[in-house]
Chain A
């Protein structure tokens, strides 16, 4: 199944000690679990059976329950058999002959021979409770729920986009039965409902777990979805005449445990089992939502959020999620260009190194991008220091929202600040650079990842430069004016780190190979730095990061290996 956090996420970390603990038994094994654990909002609440079983190393299958959503208790998949210490008429515990407490198993009050399960997702534990997540009675209850969920389901797995990451499939394998008793005609419901600009709904596949309804109401703050009709005919729907359209709708696709909600962007593009999953970050704003990149044979097919409670919980916004297509654009820069002619890295880097080495102090300026990795910015800064160059990067300010989207649209503004390549207020030095070019003092401009003609340095000004060295991913007016074009990489094509708006340092992994002659910027930058400054570069991103951490105070004490999937805090 998918590693994407929203499909299924881990329970939140327990509260810090001291923690009140309760002793219970799970399948006969005694375990001590905290009395209280964070609920979906992070508030401490009585520990549930489901959480307790997870702590005991077990699993209770479930559909409607999600650790980051209010508990609904409607799917009944997590029903488990349980018992509590038996109490005598004097309200004192009753003991077996061996001194162990007698357990009263929960049974139907009107039929004491039949176990009565409790929904593990909503039932708090109590001292001495015994939970039987694998007893025959529990298994029978699960089988029955699965049978019920499938009777009106179309069983169209071969053409279902969810196949391969579908909880109905998975639980049918793990907990289901091979046959169904059902011999009636199925209920038919709307197919391929256009729920909103990015979402398609198949009501027949829907198991009515209401995760989507709860997400959009309680997390996204847009009470847009509900249920119409009754009983078996229940149908998820948006209000008549309205579209399900907020910036978080695609999270419902992740949350949907079945193939009911699908993404218009991703559906039918690729069978999910062919996708390679790579831990990455969203680059659309400074929040740095943790993502999983789904790719196959060098092509990125989708982003999904990855759980990080310090950053994005298990969500990401639609605009960030869909902002991947540029990686595969046909017009990607794929060739090294020297004065308008296709060239080679060897030639270009040799020429550039020589030019920079010979340049007079303060005749070079560097405009970096806060979309670059921290390591690249660090190397640029090294180069700039040697050349006495003015440096800055380009600010990108938009609108923030209440959930995840930050006003800072650069993923690494804090990285640019910490490495010293940018002024504290990004872009405030650019006018000085423009003045320097205009005055003829600045003869060489190094630009990385920005179209400076939109950031205060006009094409006319660029024309005054003796040397314009540009690295970018896509063509623009600046690359057009460049004497040297060095094709760079999307974040999905390399490794590196970003520092988000809250100062959290996070790393991302390489998902796909760069196109053509494009190379990760840190690789050729380290060559340039070596050629120009004489300092030895680092052949690996690990060594480069560790060197940076030694030199840049903001990263003091951090090593690449210590940056977990959840990131670490910096002083930014």
Chain B
């Protein structure tokens, strides 16, 4: 899923935008912009048609033949998460909360990506599992696989629909396009190129999207810093415009919930976001991990998330900085969506406003195409992950066993079309009931933290039993749902779950993830103590201690993934220090 767990500003916008009277759209396109957009659409369709000849087996379609190099797997791994909703939503959050929004890109991603590459990828890759639920089947058995596969398949296709609706809304507000036109044109394009080329198509287009997003968005921070007079000039302007808040320090205001605009304590950021949520997402969400499964060998599989981590650290430059530039340079203030009146703009419009501020014809087209590419890649990623999990983890083991590979390949293609149709249906439902998005976002958070606990224990503790894995996952998920409902029905419960009555929604998500993870781990351990483990011979290739991991001692230092993980971690720590 290319929606991060908490994008409150963007979510609120999608719940209300487009429902009031028509507003003048932000950007007018000219012929160079339309040329660029038209060429992009023609190219993605052409790539899908070209790649069809290379998808002759299930492994080709669902895992791109497991032939991706570290760089391709790494860039698509990052792009699968870097959708347009992320770009716009986090730029909006940066305007609202300042540099604190960067936590979701640094402490909320880098340690987890490095952990995936160095610790978890060997077991994912060596096991030759097709998916995360596939790994769970090997480690714990069918019931755990089914629980994970059903929840993932359901949520990922829902998120694809939300992604699609979000894109259509953005196009309506920013460009004045008809919502139905946007939904159907983008859906049909995605359906064609993914049904034809499978994960090959999805990955190729994610690499294209990576370049488009960087090249389309990079001009904003460059020109913005020129206008502001560099970083120090920007900081000065922000303080002039907003003298009461601290928008440019990452950790200084995290000592108390009431000291920062996010209403978060540093423990929530470090243990909630930095540990459970980010590790849960980056190591078990199949949408992103599938790209690493497609790597050509174990070293490429380990390097891919490490390569991604370097670029992830740079993403705030094109996402957070535009929000900060909006704080410092715009001569009007942006408002929460609920408070916007005629002629005013909301936080969510900060990125398109900055785009329109600096980019004329041609450059605008590049930026808008980057946003469209981000949305479409998000949809393609969700749909390809859905097709894989449905075909390999639900259809093949439970509905139609023992068929030829060509049958499952055909199922994958049809499932892609079906996934897109379900997504379109979801988009129309969300159009009618905007608050559904809040619940789908919460639904995702119910499973991701406990799933991380289940997978982590499975990989690192050979004593964990099948029963322990299943009941731990179920208990963790059920407890997360229970905590969510408790706060919904009695807001006072927030003080217990999020440790403070001052805590905001983001803090609640983080602490709920932390508690549900702990419950999953404790229940797994307790049930394990009373049940019988699998024989060690059945755990080879799945668990630390039962698997002989290939040695890298014969490689020169600069070729070892652990070396580059160390470099990435060092850069991460230096950034925390610089922006303390």
**Are A and B co-members of a single complex?**
no
